[in-house]
Amino acid sequence: MISFQNVSFSYPDSERPAIQNINLEVAPGTLALVIGESGSGKSTLLRCVNGLVPHFSGGSLQGNVRVNGLDPVQATPKVMSRHVGFIFQDPEAQFVVDRVEDEIAFALENFALPAEEIRMRVAEVLDLLSLKALRYRRLETLSGGERQRVAMATALVMRPEVLVLDEPTSQLDPKSAHDVLETLVRLNRTLDLTVLLAEHRIERVLPFADQLIALNVEGNGGISGPPRQVFTQTDITPPVVTLGKELGWQPLPMTVEEGRKFIPDIESRTPKSETIPTPVSHKGEPFLQIHDLEVRYGNQIILDRVNLDLLQGEILVLMGPNGAGKTTLLRTIVGLLQPAKGKVIAGGVDISNKRMDEICRAVGYLPQDPNALLFADSALEELMITLRNHAGKMDAAGEQEADRTARALLERLELINQADDYPRDLSVGQRQRVALGAITVTKPKTLLLDEPTRGLDYGAKQSLAQLLRGWRDEGMAILLVTHDVELAAEVADRAAILKQGKISSCGDPSRVMRSSVRFTPQIARLFPYTDWLTVQDALIGIRQIFS
Amino acid sequence: MIHTWAWIGWLISALVALSITRNPLYLFLILLCIALVGWTQERRLSSESSQTQNLLPFSPFKFVLVIITLSALFNAVISHFGETVLFSLPEWLPFLGGPITLEALAFGAINGLVLGGIFAAFTVLNLALPVRSLVRLIPRAYYPVAVITSIAITFIPNATRQFHHIREAQAIRGHRVRGLRGWLPLIMPLLVGGLERALGLAEAMTARGFASSEGGNQTSQTRLGMVLGLLMLFGGWLLRLIEGGQLLGIGLMILGITLIAAMLWSIGRSVPRTNYNQEIWRFRDFLVLIGSMGVISAFLLPIPWIDQSILHYNPYPILNLPGFDPLIGAATMGLLIPIFIIKPK
């Protein structure tokens, strides 16, 4: 169905090719997963399939691409749109009109199909994706998962043979992501649709993937084949595969269910009540205390008497479904929203009625979209601006001191070589760290982070985790809101789950994360009778048992 | 759903009423009717959604209040007519110096009511009609223009929401707007983000097979026809101004409009596009239209038992109580008919 032969592509004015010597074949009805670090060319590869590269992007393409016998370069994206449905990372960014039904019909109206056929196709796709109830809804009133399903419907209504998706679940909570993937797999199996999908959170998609395409930043051709075979040649692996590789399990397990076949021996030798390993305690005095916090939008209660303490020197991970009130909680803490009841105490001082700039000196808050923060000409200037905002006018000595502080932080953020670069030219992970720098340069005692791993690859997530652990060890109190259960497992000292505006559980991460299957990391599902959460925990635990 | 044309009729009647009267009692009444229809519509939309976000990125009620206040203050400091002097500004202040009068304040507030009413009526229409319904009103000959309009309509609320996010993000790093340079941290991310979003949308539309070159084929005949039609329309309007040329002028204008419509239809035929979701005209749409016609008739047509002089009101030279004809008041209630049709789910 899809074939790449010696395909290389360079963007205009780019010194190195985005993809190089790609050779791959994707058979009809295959669900192929594309993995790779940021900048490895995943998006470029996907855009070659429908001709957006090079027609939309410009640049030079070498080699042969064939999709269902067509050459996308010659056929143009207009013709390819009938064969290839393309779904982007942010569904909101691809909507043209404002209502579900109109959005689905837009492309068909554009192709001037008879009204009767449009009606039939729209009804068919609404049924297929269980969107009937949303037919007349405004797009802005839909949840993230619903929007992504509408985006799928807009592509499927063209009855394509191939569906291409660029990180479709990156902005969704685990449940919505699961629903979207389940729909995708159903389409793949029932319609024999060929699916090509790029994703950073591999563990979500791997159970359904027939083929894996791994790209690397060096752009030396990539590897394509059955997942088991490809994973032996790449380091980008989900926890269960990483553990399997470390312990030499053969055949390499791709899912938790496959991994369980290897553990009866370990299970029989693990004392059920024993805690392995003992978590390191960093906990100090409570720095941030939230008492009976209630927030309303009109008559609707968003946060319902929330009580939460954040201790000095700990990372508290807050999880929960979309719309549970996680972002509202963070916005209320920093004074962007006024609570109807309750109070927030930081360092012993009630900050509920303080000015926002006063609060933000003690409490740093990184919002979901780091781009909203960045506007200066360089990464260094971004940090300097925050310092000037808080200090007012600085004399020459003050400027020098601020420069030293900002450079020291950039060093720590591993951005010192990018100090003079324009922030929006940096990678997603680097941009995220510049924004983090702009927030933390005033050395707040508490840091609140809202979904900081959106769009980050494994490497960027690891460096973020390392940074947070470092700050935690220095005594910073960190409240991390995330859907990324694997990152949560890596860094959490405590975990809490917020559901419908209420804290449903809070405490030891191994207990809290096991309380809901949606928030349980792979290792915890693999070893349900231990309190292990990460590959590292499992390796230490297993070595202890067998020593 | 109320038919698009019924809503357009409702909008026209509200605009006609707002532009004809300067009587603050009627203006209040019209604004109240519009607000009630808007409130019902917003409740209906909210009941459809489990999401908590606001359907509009700002409060229209507050915005109307701001318009009225600003208009009143602006007129009070610019116009110094009126007999009820509240206080005086020093004479040496250019333009502003002189007495501040109650009458000037009232006159400004009345103008504000008109502007606020127009804004509110369009806001209600925006809430009530999907973008696609509005865009379908644009002649098919200008299909790319229609698509661009649809994007622009959906883009503005998105940009406004984005602006709120940016303002919050900058505030939490201690930013406060001081002078023109203080706007830079707010404007720059908005502009760059807007450009990035526009590029993203352009890419998505290309992937969905949209090509902007698919406008109607304008032949030299159709172009000539359009120019001729416009000339006739303009010439007719000029003729109407000349003594005795009124009838000829109107005839020429009608001919011009017919020619333009014919050319648009002709160009539109060459645009391959389907309107699959044809709306059905129902009895309830008829009721909305009847209500709107009632409002227009009461405000515009010379009906013997209605005293339309009461619609004109001037607070100068001394503020006086405006009159009120209950028949016009009752006719204005025609604007409320959509309330009985829009039901929260």
Alpha-carbon distance B223 to nearest alpha carbon in chain A (angstroms)? 24
> What is the model's pLDDT at position A330?
92
Query: What average pLDDT does range A406-413 have in this prediction?
Result: 88
Alpha-carbon distance B1 to nearest alpha carbon in chain A (angstroms)? 10
Name the CA dihedral angle for A471, A474, A475, A479, rounded to a multiple of 10 degrees: 10
Contact B130 A138 (CB under 8 A): yes
Residue B171's alpha-carbon distances to A356, A389, B183, in angstroms, are 7, 10, 12
Three-class SS state of B133: helix
CB-based contact (8 Å) between A141 and chain B? yes
pLDDT greater than 60 at residue A284: yes
Query: What average pLDDT does range B263-285 have in this prediction?
Result: 79
> What is the model's pLDDT at position A276?
46
Determine the residue of chain B that is closest to A360 in CA distance.
Answer: B172
Three-class SS state of B1: coil
> What is the model's pLDDT at position B326?
93
CA–CA distance, A341 with A112 (Å, rounded to integer) = 56
> What is the model's pLDDT at position B214?
53
Contact B173 A88 (CB under 8 A): no
Of A357, A375, A389, the CB nearest to B184: A375
Residue A284 DSSP class: -
CB-based contact (8 Å) between A93 and chain B? yes
Please report residues of B whose CB lies closer than 8 A to that of A96.
147, 150-151, 154, 201, 205
Of B51, B52, B274, the CB nearest to A115: B274
> What is the model's pLDDT at position B53?
47
The per-residue pLDDT for range A287-330, each reduced to its tens digit, is: 889 999 999 877 788 898 999 999 999 999 999 887 788 888 99
Query: What average pLDDT does range B264-284 have in this prediction?
Result: 78
> What is the model's pLDDT at position A14?
79
> Is residue B282 within 8 Å of residue B154, measured between CB atoms?
no
CB-based contact (8 Å) between A529 and chain B? no
Determine the residue of chain B that is closest to A372 in CA distance.
Answer: B166
Contact A372 B173 (CB under 8 A): no
Listed ranges A251-255, B9-13, B183-187; the one with the highest mean pLDDT: B9-13
CB-based contact (8 Å) between A425 and chain B? no
Query: What average pLDDT does range A277-293 have in this prediction?
Result: 72
Alpha-carbon distance B154 to nearest alpha carbon in chain A (angstroms)? 7
Residue A9's alpha-carbon distances to A219, A284, A428, B91, in angstroms, are 10, 53, 21, 72
Determine the residue of chain A that is closest to B48 in CA distance.
Answer: A137
Contact B209 A102 (CB under 8 A): no
> Is residue A337 within 8 Å of residue B134, measured between CB atoms?
no
> What is the model's pLDDT at position B67?
93
Which of B173, B212, B269 has the highest number of chain A CBs within 10 A, making it the mutation to test binding with A? B173
> What is the model's pLDDT at position A176?
77
Contact B274 A114 (CB under 8 A): yes
Alpha-carbon distance B122 to nearest alpha carbon in chain A (angstroms)? 17
Q: Mean pLDDT of all residues in chain A?
A: 85
Which of A84, A135, A140, A302 has the highest number of chain B CBs within 10 A, making it the mutation to test binding with B? A140
pLDDT greater than 50 at residue B133: yes
CB-based contact (8 Å) between A78 and chain B? yes
Domains belonging to chain A, first-starting first, are: 2-236 (3.40.50.300), 286-507 (3.40.50.300)
Nearest to A466 by CA among B320, A458, A245: A458
Contacts 24+ apart (CB under 8 A), B341-344: B341/B2, B341/B284, B341/B287, B341/B288, B342/B2, B342/B37, B342/B40, B342/B41, B342/B44, B342/B128, B343/B44, B344/B40, B344/B43, B344/B44, B344/B46, B344/B47
Contact A140 B168 (CB under 8 A): no
Between strands A211-214 and A223-225, the pairing is antiparallel
> What is the model's pLDDT at position A67?
92
> Is residue A176 within 8 Å of residue A149, measured between CB atoms?
no
Contact A137 B49 (CB under 8 A): yes
CA–CA distance, A372 with A424 (Å, rounded to integer) = 11
Contact A336 B171 (CB under 8 A): yes
> Is residue A145 within 8 Å of residue A172, measured between CB atoms?
yes
pLDDT greater than 90 at residue B225: no
CB-based contact (8 Å) between A390 and chain B? yes
CA–CA distance, B53 with A89 (Å, rounded to integer) = 22
Three-class SS state of B89: strand
Contact B208 A106 (CB under 8 A): yes
Please report residues of A whose CB lies closer than 8 A to that of B208.
81, 86, 94, 106-107, 110, 154-155, 158
The per-residue pLDDT for range A415-425, each reduced to its tens digit, is: 888 888 888 88
pLDDT greater than 70 at residue A359: yes
> What is the model's pLDDT at position A278?
45
The per-residue pLDDT for range A448-501, each reduced to its tens digit, is: 999 888 778 888 888 889 889 998 998 899 999 998 888 999 999 999 999 888
Of A94, A122, A389, the CB nearest to B173: A389
pLDDT greater than 90 at residue B104: yes
CA–CA distance, A243 with A59 (Å, rounded to integer) = 41
Q: What is the pTM assigned to this prediction?
A: 0.75
> Is residue A327 within 8 Å of residue A144, measured between CB atoms?
no
Q: HEC states along A430-457?
A: HHHHHHHHHHHCCCCCEEEEECCCCCCC
Burial of B171 (0-12, 13-18, 19+ CB in 10 A): buried
Query: What average pLDDT does range B110-138 have in this prediction?
Result: 86
Q: What is the token pair recorded at A118?
A: 């449009």
Determine the residue of chain B that is closest to A153 in CA distance.
Answer: B208
Per-residue buried b or exposed e for B147-164, using 16+ beta carbons within 10 Å of the residue's own CB: bebbbebbbebbbebbbe
Please report residues of A whose CB lies closer than 8 A to that of B278.
115
Alpha-carbon distance B57 to nearest alpha carbon in chain A (angstroms)? 11
> What is the model's pLDDT at position B218?
64
Between strands B85-89 and A502-507, the pairing is unpaired
Determine the residue of chain B that is closest to A57 in CA distance.
Answer: B203
Please report residues of B whose CB lies closer than 8 A to that of A55.
206
Determine the residue of chain A that is closest to B215 in CA distance.
Answer: A110
> What is the model's pLDDT at position B58?
59
pLDDT greater than 90 at residue B111: yes
> What is the model's pLDDT at position A232?
86
> What is the model's pLDDT at position A187?
82
Of A155, A302, A390, the CB nearest to B174: A390
The per-residue pLDDT for range B41-91, each reduced to its tens digit, is: 888 877 765 544 454 555 778 888 999 999 999 999 988 888 999 999 888
Strand residues in A104-259 grouped as ranges (E): 162-166, 194-198, 211-214, 223-225
H-helix segments, A350-426: 356-362, 379-391, 396-412
pLDDT greater than 70 at residue A395: yes
Query: What average pLDDT does range A259-267 have in this prediction?
Result: 76
Which of B148, B172, B197, B214 has the highest number of chain A CBs within 10 A, making it the mutation to test binding with A? B172
The per-residue pLDDT for range B8-46, each reduced to its tens digit, is: 999 999 999 999 999 999 999 999 999 999 989 888 877
**pLDDT band with cut points at 50, 70 and 90 for residue A357:** confident
CB-based contact (8 Å) between A373 and chain B? yes
The per-residue pLDDT for range B302-333, each reduced to its tens digit, is: 888 888 889 999 999 999 999 999 999 999 99
> What is the model's pLDDT at position A397?
84
Per-residue buried b or exposed e for A219-254, using 16+ beta carbons within 10 Å of the residue's own CB: bebbbbeebbebbeebebbbbbbbbbbebebeebbb
pLDDT greater than 80 at residue A147: yes
CA–CA distance, A93 with B201 (Å, rounded to integer) = 6
**Farthest CA pair distance, chain B:** 70
Please report residues of B whose CB lies closer than 8 A to that of A52.
203, 206-207
Q: Which of A222-226, B106-110, B132-136, B259-263 has the lowest mean pLDDT?
A: B132-136
Determine the residue of chain B that is closest to A371 in CA distance.
Answer: B189
Contact A81 B209 (CB under 8 A): yes
CA–CA distance, A94 with A110 (Å, rounded to integer) = 15
> Is residue A534 within 8 Å of residue A239, measured between CB atoms?
yes
- Which residues contact residue B28 at a Cβ distance below 8 angstroms, ignoring those fewer than 6 apart? B113
Query: What average pLDDT does range A354-370 have in this prediction?
Result: 84
> Is residue A151 within 8 Å of residue A91, measured between CB atoms?
yes
Rounded percentage of chain A residues whose pLDDT exceeds 90: 19
Please report residues of A whose CB lies closer than 8 A to that of B276.
105, 108-109, 115, 118-119, 122
The per-residue pLDDT for range A509-547, each reduced to its tens digit, is: 988 888 888 888 999 988 888 888 889 888 888 888 777
Contact B192 A106 (CB under 8 A): no
CB-based contact (8 Å) between A465 and chain B? no
- Which residues contact residue B171 at a Cβ distance below 8 angstroms, ignoring those fewer than 6 apart? A336, A356, A357, A360
Provide the residue count of chain A. Answer: 547
- Which residues contact residue A333 at a Cβ distance below 8 angstroms, ignoring those fewer than 6 apart? A288, A290, A344, A351, A359, A363, A365, A448
Please report residues of A whose CB lies closer than 8 A to that of B51.
140-143, 323
> What is the model's pLDDT at position B223?
82
Contact A98 B200 (CB under 8 A): no
Of B130, B172, B211, the CB nearest to A97: B130
CA–CA distance, B228 with B257 (Å, rounded to integer) = 10
Determine the residue of chain B that is closest to A104 in CA distance.
Answer: B208
